[in-house]
Amino acid sequence: MSPVQPGRAQAAYANTCGVVQPPQDGRGSERARERERLLEHVRADIIPGLEELVDPAASPADLLAVADRRSRRLRAELEGFDDAGALFGPARVEDPACAEEREWVRGHLHDTALQILEFVAGDGFGTGLSAAKIARLAGGAARDLQRWVDSLDAPTAAELLPELELITEQARSLDPRVELVVGEIGTPPTSEQVEALAGAVREAVTNARKHANASHVIVRVQCDSDGRTAVTVTDDGVGIDPERAENGDGLGVKGSIVGRMKRVGGYASLEGAPGGGTQVTLVTPRQGA
């Protein structure tokens, strides 16, 4: 294996993958209305909340206070504890199709907007953020979220390696010691599996930095001869209790890593890494199984 070079992933996977789309089924009208309700909230509240932090002339302390308020509010919404209509809460799970739609949107917001807001609110995990750095992070997150919303009506090609390149590149803007290593690439995963893998990797990289205090994170990807895609995220942090992490409450490991992989027929495991730290392993089912 060797570290991936810019542009290599696009060439390796060009024209080999399917299309990323939100979950679909026959109850299109109800699901479409539910999706639009959620996306309208993203447009009206979450994206403007990120844009509120794009003010290089502001006091960093003031921006941290805004981010703290916004992050607490968004986490309460995502975990169903908000008092403003239970946007994602249990009161709205009566229709399975709509519940699946909410879980899909909720997972994306947890892994993107919430992570940036909490990173800023914590002053970059205590490293000290300038107003200019906050503006770059929040502005980039707002643009990415807007592009995601705009793309839902125009599905795009789903390619795993470019997704992993983007995730590791974004992570390096917060911590330079995050690298992507590419092994043998055979039959690519399906679009649904690409989305699950990308989301789970993003969460694992965030956890390594946010909770494990890791100084070095390596993302490795390879396809086995039987058509399975395996991605590992290894860090040199303080380590975790795998059983507690996999079975705990909330949206982190249980929902954003283990749950994502289960929904596409794959699995995720967490264990101590050789020499210390944590290794997260994500494996898709065999293609055609």
> What pLDDT score was predicted for residue 85?
52
DSSP 20-43: E-----S-HHHHHHHHHHHHHHII
Annotated domain spans of the chain: 1-21+158-289, 24-154
> What pLDDT score was predicted for residue 42?
94
> What pLDDT score was predicted for residue 14?
34
Looking at the DSSP bridge assignments, the partners of residue 223 are: 229
DSSP 44-107: IIIHHHHHTT--TTS-HHHHHHHHHHHHHHHHHHHTT--SSS-SSSGGG-SSHHHHHHHHHHHH
Q: How many CA within 13 A on the CB side of residue 245?
A: 23
Q: What angle (nearest 5°) sits at the alpha carbon of residue 35, between those of residues 33 and 41?
A: 105
Contact 284, 239 (CB under 8 A): no
Which ranges of 110-264 does DSSP label H, i.e. alpha helix?
115-121, 123-126, 131-151, 160-172, 191-210, 242-247, 260-263
Distances (CA, A) of 14 to 17, 162, 270: 8, 10, 31
> What pLDDT score was predicted for residue 72?
95
> What pLDDT score was predicted for residue 159?
83
**Digitized pLDDT (tens) for each residue of the chain, 289 residues in all:** 545 443 433 333 333 333 344 554 444 688 888 888 899 999 999 999 999 999 999 999 999 999 999 999 999 888 875 555 556 755 454 677 788 788 888 888 988 899 899 999 999 878 899 999 999 999 989 998 998 888 776 666 668 898 899 889 888 877 778 999 999 877 888 888 888 899 899 989 988 887 778 889 999 999 887 789 999 999 998 877 666 555 554 556 767 788 889 888 999 999 887 778 899 999 999 876 5
Give CA–CA dist 123/130, Å, rounded.
Answer: 9
Give CA–CA dist 137/63, Å, rounded.
Answer: 12
* CATH classification (class only), 1-21+158-289: alpha beta
Amino acid identity of residue 265, one-letter, is G
Give CA–CA dist 65/58, Å, rounded.
Answer: 12
> What pLDDT score was predicted for residue 276?
81
- Token pair of 48, please? 């403007």
Give CA–CA dist 251/193, Å, rounded.
Answer: 19
Residue of 197, 204, 159 lying closest to 178 (CA atoms)? 204
Rounded to a whole number of angstroms, the distance between the first and last alpha carbons of the chain is 27
> What pLDDT score was predicted for residue 232?
95
| Residues 6 or more apart in contact with residue 170 via CB below 8 angstroms | 140
Distances (CA, A) of 279 to 130, 236, 243: 32, 9, 13
